[in-house]
Amino acid sequence: MKKLFSILLITWFIFTSCSKSKIAEIPDGIVPYSIYSGTLAVGTVKLRLVFKIYKDKNNKLIATLDSPDQGAMDITVDAVTITDSTIRFDLPNLKAYYDGALQPDSSYQGTWFQGGTSIPLDITQTETAIVLKRPQEPQSPLPYKSEEITFFNSSAGINLAGTLTIPEGNGSFPCVILITGSGPQNRNEELLGHKPFLVLSDYFTRNGIGVLRYDDRGVGESEGDFSTATSYNFADDAEVSVNYLKSRNEFSSIGLVGHSEGGLIAPIVANQSEDVDFIILMAGTGLTGKEILMLQGQLILKQMEISPVGLEVYKKTQSAMLQIAVDIENDEEALKQLSEVSKAYGNLSEKDQQIIGYDPETFEKALRALLSPWMRTFLTLDPRPILEKVTIPVLAINGEKDLQVPSKENLSEIKAALERGGNTSVAIHELENLNHLFQTCETGAIDEYGTIEETFNEEAMDLIMSWIKSITG
């Protein structure tokens, strides 16, 4: 689940609003005259922050903020103030600021303030900013054809835009459609400086498999409104992409590769379309959304070292809140009840409140997110009866260290549902030492995602590619 469903109530600390933050416009030719970096720590979660300070042509100080571990770069700092003994950065768009006191070694000892929460943050001067290394991203020239395409969803009245890559050579090739996870995603499923679908597309196409990847509705070059859509709407979009490929009459078979929520969508589409020949579920779900959120939240909180008391309060409170989102149709009444129930977090220690992401002044936004059309649908959507109807070949894989879609619980339910339906062409693999993004990892912790150079484990890609070739001939 790309946007980390539990982030609604377990904030991976500060930059839940980074995707909507203002990007600074630095005049061409101006380079930072000073760069400071430091690391925020909340429990076991660590985020590197980089402040870059510039001088404009009038010698006025301007600054930007990078959070490289979250793929958020060049965020506007509205004001930077430096005195003989202090430094301050103001970011009202993030409801945040930093205050630091100059130390004898020219570093600053200070505090990051955001949304009523304060966290110690010391910053030191560095010569260069942090540059993310993503060695798997393909570089031109590419040994295959690439087309920018659009296809029309007539029921929604929107055009969807994407990229189709086709292997070089003559003949008819199998082709797969990549379906993104939750949250607004572009065709590369871009996240934290990684582009998993770009890497997957390149790998598959080099190995003789065509790939269609597209921007979610309302994202990138695709039309539509993402905020009002549910998983069923995204399934309709995916089905239209199948129809588009079928209309080209140049592919021997069509498969769906769904990641996270995409692994929920793929079986829906397979049951709706006779033109889908196989599906691949990458960290797909075998449980309802409510079950997923409860498991996910507990695993992440334990990894962030919440106290036993805090964990018990979370389990009780989260369960009650999710049930309110399911049961109470009126948004304002539901919000009222959610606010009342969430007050239980206010009795926890400051550390536990920080880990959960609880702040009474800013929590309403998170609560309202629970009432979105997508979330209300997701909470009760049960993939098991959908999977029982799937008769085509299925490959389901998950990382053993996935904290967002726990592998054992979900793979076992996927397998059981497919078997109940009589599907005899099923392959299930739990992949050691891989996280939700299929990166080789140490712990599976969320804060690792952006720091890992690997975008997608090559052995996992080879497993998928080999399986596709085995069933398509």
pLDDT tens digits, one per residue of 110-167:
999 887 778 899 999 998 877 788 999 999 999 999 999 999 999 999 999 999 999 9
pLDDT tens digits, one per residue of 304-327:
889 999 999 999 999 999 999 999
**Which amino acid is located at 343 in the chain?**
K
Per domain, the residue ranges of the chain are 5-126, 144-287+382-472, 289-376
**43 backbone dihedrals φ, ψ, rounded to 5°:** 60, -125
pLDDT of residue 28: 61
pLDDT tens digits, one per residue of 387-428:
999 999 999 999 999 999 999 999 999 999 999 999 999 999
State the residue for tokens 């079928």.
246
pLDDT tops 80 at residue 212: yes
Report the CATH number of the 5-126 domain: 2.40.128
Provide the mean pLDDT of the chain: 90
Is residue 262 within 8 Å of residue 180, measured between CB atoms? yes
**Which amino acid is located at 203 in the chain?**
Y
Domain 144-287+382-472 has CATH 3.40.50.1820: yes
In this prediction, residue 19 has a pLDDT band, given cuts at 50, 70 and 90, of very low
Is residue 409 within 8 Å of residue 428, measured between CB atoms? no
Its pTM stands at 0.86
In this prediction, residue 22 has a pLDDT band, given cuts at 50, 70 and 90, of low
pLDDT of residue 233: 98
Q: Tell me the DSSP string of 17-30.
A: GGGGSPBP-PPTT-
pLDDT tens digits, one per residue of 165-199:
999 988 789 999 999 999 899 999 998 889 999 99
pLDDT of residue 90: 96
